[in-house]
């Protein structure tokens, strides 16, 4: 990874550390000084803060004490429970936190060689598609000799406080971390894709079937190294940080530390009817304030659980902020859940391997419609297709597609009053199978998927799509809002994701000599009926072949039918405006395909876009003489090559 890591503000850890050791001094970071400007972006904010090094706060400081645990830290005065909840999740995965804290042993204090300590640390975050290394000094903000922000429950352990400082440096100040979503930090820790679910809107507390689907999905995410956090949104009569009757805190991020199916009572040999409970374990970043309902730490329900199962769960009865509850109660009491999926792209894995494509893009304003790239959501029909457009292919008959759209982190703009996330989302359109240029009009294209629109930093969609070609259109909700984004697409087989930049075929010296296209024709073949039966089975294996000048496109084969549904879309750019379009229907055979008939049509601009029914010539027809074979299609054409 080291060769691809970007250096934040160009600071090189080894170089800076070497300079400090050579000069016999401790590092002081000029890019994030021990002053109020690193604490606050708001000049009105006040506080009496002393910056102290760990050696001034305890006798034997360490980066880590007995490894890392989800109980290592507690939230301080800053409203960043979302960050602390993400840290709780990170602590559960050693392979992942070792990426965030590289070479932790080398960074550790060495009491035997105090001269090797330079007061400098480094951390790595996945920022906007790249791993970025951030260097900080060990000067930490305190009041009365105590850390005022994130701290460990072990007095001489400082990894959480230093990690928080590095993250604050990325954001521009500690105050910029006030308020947020745990999924943001989890993505920055891991490079995972984030998904947000509203439990109330999805009625997961009421519909048991949906509840069980969600449980199985979350358990799979957790087992495969993903992360989950949850919260209760504030509402009228339910203000932020208010405590519910069951001990939960409103507007507060909780980390999910375990998801289990729990057996009740001692299991019997060869018994397959043991009663099971669907359980979830949470942790409050405050390290206190727990759930008071069923299955809370000291509730009567735990008497139903065998000693072996309790030991297996690691049940502890103390006010440490961690507690169990049933999944049903969880769905009824919490309103929002953030899921971070670590999508497996390794070929050396027993689990499903995904093919990943990633693109960098931007929404940018321009007065010229063909150059504007900030057209707003689908509701803005006049400008929607002015957004960036990305083409991809689904090669299998059906494939599951994962899409993550992430906008740039805007926390560093808080000082200018522009730090709020922009509401973003995307549309997926089924387009012509041979499209190579940007869409300009919504005609035969089918709108197959719409992501949630949200002002979170990223939006996610998982959807099964049929074989074919698609255009993905990322948008801001409102037109004319400029910002950068990254788009990640995961499929089972390579999708060849690429941006559509050209509006029409390129004018070249060769095209000037041989002729440049003068007309664009868009065809959608819907279906055919009355085809001749083939063989003893009585069916056929038809496909359609569409030709225009020297261009052609063949559809997938439809099996064992004389009334195929093709839904094949194509687009042709032709030089001769009088050149007809030929549609042939063939039946796929082992040695030689059989011709079933063809139709020709001449389309011209101005003809209405309506479904046509053409007879197939050159065929003996179907079984019923009164039903000649025919094909249904829609055609549209224009002499403006940038219209369709």
The distance between the two most distant Cα atoms of the chain, rounded to a whole number of Å, is: 100
Mean pLDDT, residues 468-492 taken together: 96
Residue 605 CA to residue 636 CA, distance in Å, equals: 7
200, 106: one domain: no
Mean pLDDT, residues 410-415 taken together: 88
Which of 150, 153, 68, 92 has the alpha carbon at shortest distance from 281? 92
| Res 452 pLDDT > 70 | yes
Mean pLDDT, residues 224-252 taken together: 87
The DSSP element (H or E) to which 13 belongs, if any, is helix 13-23
Q: Which long-range contacts (CB under 8 A, 24 or more apart) does 397-400 make?
A: 397/466, 397/467, 397/556, 398/464, 398/465, 398/466, 398/467, 399/464, 399/465, 399/467, 399/491, 399/492, 399/493, 400/462, 400/463, 400/464, 400/491, 400/492
pLDDT classification of 625: cutoffs 50, 70, 90? very low
Q: How many CB atoms lie within 10 A of CB 26?
A: 16
Q: How many domains does the chain have?
A: 4
| Res 318 pLDDT > 80 | no
pLDDT at 137: 96
In this structure, is residue 643 part of a structural domain?
no
51, 114: one domain: yes
Which of 373, 372, 361, 358 has the alpha carbon at shortest distance from 484? 361
pLDDT at 627: 65
34, 173: one domain: yes
The dihedral formed by the CA atoms of 527, 531, 537 and 543, expressed in degrees to the nearest 10: -50
Share of the chain above pLDDT 70, in %: 92
Better-predicted residue by pLDDT, 509 or 113: 113
166, 310: one domain: no
pLDDT at 27: 96
Q: How far is CA 169 from the centre of its chain?
A: 25
| Res 571 pLDDT > 50 | yes
CATH number of the domain where residue 435 is located = 2.60.120.380
In this structure, is residue 286 part of a structural domain?
yes
182, 198: one domain: no
Mean pLDDT, residues 510-522 taken together: 83
In this structure, is residue 293 part of a structural domain?
yes
In the predicted model, what is the mean pLDDT of the chain? 88
pLDDT at 2: 44
pLDDT at 350: 59
212, 174: one domain: no
Could you tell me which residues come within 8 angstroms of residue 271 by beta carbon, excluding any fewer than 6 positions away?
none
User: pLDDT tens, 26-49?
Assistant: 999 999 999 999 998 886 666 689
In this structure, is residue 505 part of a structural domain?
no
- Phi and psi dihedrals of 343, rounded to 5? -80, 125
CATH number of the domain where residue 551 is located = 2.60.40.150
Cα Rg of the chain, angstroms: 31
Please, which residues bridge with residue 359 across strands?
A: 487
Helix (H), strand (E) counts: the chain: 12, 29
Catalytic pick among 74, 222, 252, 440: 252
Q: Using the 3D structure, point to which of 162, 186, 210 is the last residue of a domain.
A: 186
CATH number of the domain where residue 242 is located = 3.90.70.10
pLDDT classification of 331: cutoffs 50, 70, 90? very high
Mean pLDDT, residues 341-345 taken together: 82
pLDDT at 72: 65
In this structure, is residue 161 part of a structural domain?
yes
pLDDT at 3: 54
Catalytic pick among 284, 380, 387, 421: 284
In this structure, is residue 364 part of a structural domain?
yes
pLDDT at 532: 84
Better-predicted residue by pLDDT, 416 or 470: 470
Residue 340 CA to residue 217 CA, distance in Å, equals: 12
205, 56: one domain: no
Better-predicted residue by pLDDT, 401 or 313: 401
399, 259: one domain: no
Catalytic pick among 81, 150, 230, 340: 81
Residue 391 CA to residue 497 CA, distance in Å, equals: 6
Residue 257 CA to residue 91 CA, distance in Å, equals: 10
Residue 230 CA to residue 337 CA, distance in Å, equals: 4
Residue 610 CA to residue 633 CA, distance in Å, equals: 8
pLDDT at 1: 42
Share of the chain above pLDDT 90, in %: 54
337, 366: one domain: no
pLDDT at 131: 95
Which of 222, 195, 215 has the alpha carbon at shortest distance from 328? 215
Mean pLDDT, residues 160-186 taken together: 92
pLDDT classification of 635: cutoffs 50, 70, 90? very high
User: pLDDT tens, 573-586?
Assistant: 999 888 889 999 99
Residue 531 CA to residue 590 CA, distance in Å, equals: 19
| Res 235 pLDDT > 90 | no
Q: Using the 3D structure, point to which of 186, 205, 229 is the last residue of a domain.
A: 186
pLDDT classification of 4: cutoffs 50, 70, 90? confident
284 is catalytic: yes
In this structure, is residue 349 part of a structural domain?
no
Chain position carrying tokens 């709108």: 447
Are 431 and 447 spatial neighbours (Cβ–Cβ below 8 Å)? no
Mean pLDDT, residues 431-438 taken together: 95
- Euclidean distance between the first and the last CA atom of the chain, given in angstroms as a whole number: 44
Length of the chain: 644
Identify the DSSP state of 384. G
Beta strands in 60-205 (DSSP E): 73-74, 120-127, 130-137, 140-143, 146-147, 151-152, 193-198
Which of 132, 133, 114, 134 has the alpha carbon at shortest distance from 54? 114
pLDDT at 32: 97
pLDDT at 623: 45
Mean pLDDT, residues 420-435 taken together: 95
pLDDT at 535: 66
Tokens of 389: 């457009």
Q: Is 365 exposed, middle or buried (0-12, 13-18, 19+ CB in 10 A)?
A: middle
> DSSP characters for 503-569?
SSPPP-HHHHHH----EEEEEEEEEEESPPP-TTTS---EEEEEEETTEEEEPPPPPS-SS-EEEEE
Q: Using the 3D structure, point to which of 471, 500, 529 is the last residue of a domain.
A: 500
Residue 222 CA to residue 218 CA, distance in Å, equals: 6
Which of 322, 317, 195 has the alpha carbon at shortest distance from 257? 322
In this structure, is residue 289 part of a structural domain?
yes
361, 337: one domain: no
Task: Give the domain range for residue 619.
Answer: 513-638
321, 421: one domain: no
| Res 283 pLDDT > 80 | yes
182, 200: one domain: no
pLDDT classification of 269: cutoffs 50, 70, 90? very low
pLDDT at 619: 62
pLDDT at 644: 86
| Res 616 pLDDT > 50 | yes
């Amino acid at each position: 990874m080291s060769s691809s890591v970007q250096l934040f503000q160009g600071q090189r850890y080894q170089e800076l550390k070497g300079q400090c050791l050579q000069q016999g001094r401790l590092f002081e970071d000029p890019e994030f000084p021990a002053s109020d400007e690193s604490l606050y972006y708001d000049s009105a904010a006040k506080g009496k803060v002393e910056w102290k090094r760990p050696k001034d706060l305890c006798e034997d400081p360490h980066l880590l004490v007995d490894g890392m645990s989800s109980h290592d830290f507690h939230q301080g005065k800053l409203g960043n429970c979302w960050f602390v909840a993400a840290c709780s999740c990170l602590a559960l995965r050693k392979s992942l936190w070792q990426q965030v804290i590289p070479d932790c042993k080398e960074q550790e204090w060495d009491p035997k060689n105090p001269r090797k300590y330079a007061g400098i640390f480094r951390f790595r975050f996945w920022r906007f598609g790249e791993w970025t290394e951030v260097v900080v000094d060990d000067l930490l903000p305190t009041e009365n000799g105590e850390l005022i922000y994130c701290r460990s429950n072990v007095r001489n352990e400082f990894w959480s406080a230093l990690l928080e400082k590095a993250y604050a440096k990325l954001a521009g100040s500690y105050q910029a971390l006030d308020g947020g979503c745990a999924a943001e930090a989890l993505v920055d820790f891991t490079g995972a894709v984030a998904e947000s679910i509203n439990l109330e809107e999805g009625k997961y507390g009421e519909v048991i079937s949906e509840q069980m689907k969600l449980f199985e999905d979350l358990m799979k995410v957790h087992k495969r190294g993903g992360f989950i956090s949850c919260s209760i949104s504030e509402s009228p009569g339910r203000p932020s940080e208010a405590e519910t009757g069951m001990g939960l805190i409103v507007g507060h991020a909780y980390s999910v530390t375990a998801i289990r199916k729990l057996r009740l009572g001692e299991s019997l040999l060869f018994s397959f009817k043991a009663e099971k409970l669907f359980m979830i374990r949470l942790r409050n970043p405050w390290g206190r304030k727990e759930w008071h309902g069923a299955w809370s730490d000291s509730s009567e329900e735990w008497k139903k659980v065998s000693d072996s199962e309790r030991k297996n769960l690691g049940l502890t009865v103390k006010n440490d902020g961690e507690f169990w509850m049933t999944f049903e109660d969880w769905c009824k009491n919490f309103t929002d859940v953030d899921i971070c999926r670590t999508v497996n792209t390794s070929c050396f894995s027993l689990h499903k391997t995904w093919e990943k494509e990633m693109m960098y893009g931007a929404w940018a304003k321009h007065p010229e419609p063909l150059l504007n790239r900030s057209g707003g959501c689908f509701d803005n029909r006049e400008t929607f297709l002015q957004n960036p457009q990305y083409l991809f292919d689904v090669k299998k008959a059906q494939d599951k597609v994962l899409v993550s759209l992430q906008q740039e982190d805007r926390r560093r703009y808080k000082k200018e009053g522009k730090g709020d996330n922009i509401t973003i989302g995307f549309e997926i359109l089924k387009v012509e199978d041979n499209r190579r240029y940007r869409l300009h009009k919504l005609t035969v294209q089918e709108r197959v998927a719409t992501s949630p629109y949200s002002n979170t930093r990223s939006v996610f969609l998982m959807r099964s799509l049929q074989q074919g070609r698609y255009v993905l259109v990322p948008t801001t909700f409102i037109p004319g809002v400029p910002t950068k984004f990254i788009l990640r697409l995961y499929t089972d087989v390579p999708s060849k994701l690429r941006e559509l930049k050209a509006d029409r075929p390129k004018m070249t010296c060769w095209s000037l000599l041989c002729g440049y296209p003068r007309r664009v024709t868009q065809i959608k073949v819907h279906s055919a009926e009355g085809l001749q039966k083939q063989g003893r089975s009585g069916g056929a294996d038809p496909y359609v072949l569409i030709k225009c000048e020297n261009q052609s496109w063949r559809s997938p084969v439809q099996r064992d039918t004389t009334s195929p549904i093709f839904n094949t879309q194509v687009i042709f750019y032709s030089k001769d405006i009088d050149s007809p379009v030929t549609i042939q229907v063939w039946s796929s055979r082992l040695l030689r395909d059989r011709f079933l008939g063809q139709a020709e049509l001449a389309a011209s601009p101005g003809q209405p876009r309506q479904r046509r029914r053409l007879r197939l010539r050159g065929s003996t027809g179907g079984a019923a003489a009164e039903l000649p074979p025919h094909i249904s299609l829609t055609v549209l054409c224009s002499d403006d090559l940038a219209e369709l």
